[in-house]
């Protein structure tokens, strides 16, 4: 039996191409991003969106989910070392660049908010900035925030990577730099790559050394902040600044 003829005004439907489906998905994500609130997109969807430019037509959802599984969180993905990102199947230089520029933008925005007001009157903004910049580092980093007499930020100095009980940080070097730039106070900051910000004996001892030297030179040590993953410890709040 011959197949029935289709009416002339009802041509056969064209097959839906994968690219068309991806385009529709991207359009829906874009609409949610533009019209929704800060929680409009899930973490994997944010990573998807960042990867769109590096993969104009393909489905970036599987890669986004792979990245989150491997690095544990959105912040972990954005802060991941490019060497490790290159080991993930599907990650080329364009995709790595898309993630890195998002991380840089987040840091710049947080840094601007932290600098907008005196540090001690803007403490949460400072903690947010430090967490974005340091919480997901895989090595320990020591930095010092130098403040003027009104607690405005003069300099955010990175003293390098390495443990605080190693040779990377010397109390006199930290305080002398402050004296040279006219700082009235300082805040010592470092991260714990383990994610646990509980202070070690070396952390406390370094704090006491810097406090003693700073006091002798007329500079105040306001705090020593240890940054972990999703949490931080203030040695001032713990009553550990003085011997």
Looking at the domain assignment, is residue 43 inside a domain? yes
Task: Mark whether 83 and 155 lie in a shared domain.
Answer: no
pLDDT tens column, 182-202: 999 999 999 998 889 999 998
Looking at the structure, tell me whether residues 59 and 159 fall in a common domain. no
The C-alpha atoms of residue 88 and residue 180 are separated, in whole angstroms, by 46
Residues 181 and 146 reside in one and the same domain = yes
In this prediction, what percent of the chain has a pLDDT beyond 70?
A: 83
Number of domains in the chain: 2
Whether residue 8 lies inside any domain: the answer is: no
- Listed in sequence order, the DSSP H helices in 15-92 are 18-35, 43-51, 61-71, 74-78, 82-85
pLDDT digits (tens, 9 = 90+) for 131-184: 888 887 888 888 999 999 988 888 888 887 765 544 356 888 999 999 999 999
Confidence (pLDDT) at 168: 52
Which domain range does residue 74 map to? Answer: 18-108
Question: Are 230 and 136 within one domain?
Answer: yes
| More confident call, 42 vs 106 | 42
Reported as a pLDDT band with limits 50, 70 and 90, residue 3 is low
Given strand 220-227, what is the order of strands in its sheet? 153-161, 141-147, 185-191, 220-227, 232-234
Average pLDDT, the chain: 83
Please identify, among 83, 108, 133, the residue that sits at the C-terminal boundary of a domain.
108
Residue 1 lies in a domain: no
Cα–Cα dist 102/214, whole Å? 38
Contact between 148 and 156 under an 8 Å Cβ cutoff? The reply is: no
Residues 124, 201 within the same domain: yes
Domain termination residue (choose one: 108, 136, 161)? 108
The reply to whether 13 falls in a domain is: no
Q: Where residue 135 sits, what CATH number does that domain have?
A: 3.40.140.10
Q: Give the confidence band of 118 by pLDDT, cuts at 50, 70, 90.
A: low
Segment 116-141 mean pLDDT: 78
- Given a cut of 50, whether residue 13 has pLDDT beyond it is no
Q: Residue 12 above 60 pLDDT?
A: no
Task: Note the pLDDT tens digit of each residue in 35-78.
Answer: 887 788 899 899 998 998 888 777 889 999 999 999 888 888 98
| pLDDT for the residue 130 | 84
- Judgement on whether residues 162 and 212 belong to the same structural domain of the protein: yes
> Are 124 and 188 found together in one domain?
yes
Both 143 and 223 in a single domain? yes
Domain end, chosen from 74, 108, 142, is at 108
**pLDDT for the residue 175:** 93
Does residue 68 share a domain with residue 122? no
| 122 lies in the same domain as 181 | yes
Cβ distance 166 to 206 under 8 Å? no
SS3 223: strand
Same domain, 25 and 75: yes
Inside any domain, residue 3: no
């Amino acid at each position: 039996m011959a197949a029935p003829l289709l009416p002339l005004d009802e041509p056969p439907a064209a097959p839906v191409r994968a690219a068309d489906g991806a385009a529709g998905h991207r359009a829906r994500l874009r609409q949610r991003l533009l019209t929704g609130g800060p929680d409009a997109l899930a973490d994997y969807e944010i990573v998807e969106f960042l990867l769109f430019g590096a993969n104009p037509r393909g489905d970036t959802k599987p890669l986004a989910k792979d990245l989150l599984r491997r690095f544990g969180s959105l912040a972990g993905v954005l802060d991941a070392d490019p060497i490790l990102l290159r080991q993930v199947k599907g990650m080329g230089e364009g995709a790595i660049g898309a993630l890195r520029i998002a991380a840089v933008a987040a840091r710049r925005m947080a840094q601007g908010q932290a600098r907008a007001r005196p540090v001690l009157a803007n403490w949460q903004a400072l903690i947010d900035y430090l967490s974005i910049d340091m919480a997901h580092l895989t090595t320990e980093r020591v930095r010092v925030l130098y403040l003027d007499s009104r607690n405005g930020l003069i300099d955010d100095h990175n003293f390098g990577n390495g443990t605080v009980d190693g040779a990377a940080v010397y109390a006199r070097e930290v305080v002398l730099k402050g004296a040279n730039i006219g700082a009235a106070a300082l805040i010592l900051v470092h991260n714990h790559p383990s994610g646990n910000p509980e202070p070690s004996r070396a952390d406390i001892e370094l704090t006491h050394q810097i406090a003693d030297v700073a006091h002798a030179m007329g500079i105040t040590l306001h705090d020593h902040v240890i940054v972990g993953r999703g949490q931080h410890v203030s040695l001032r709040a713990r009553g550990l600044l003085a011997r």
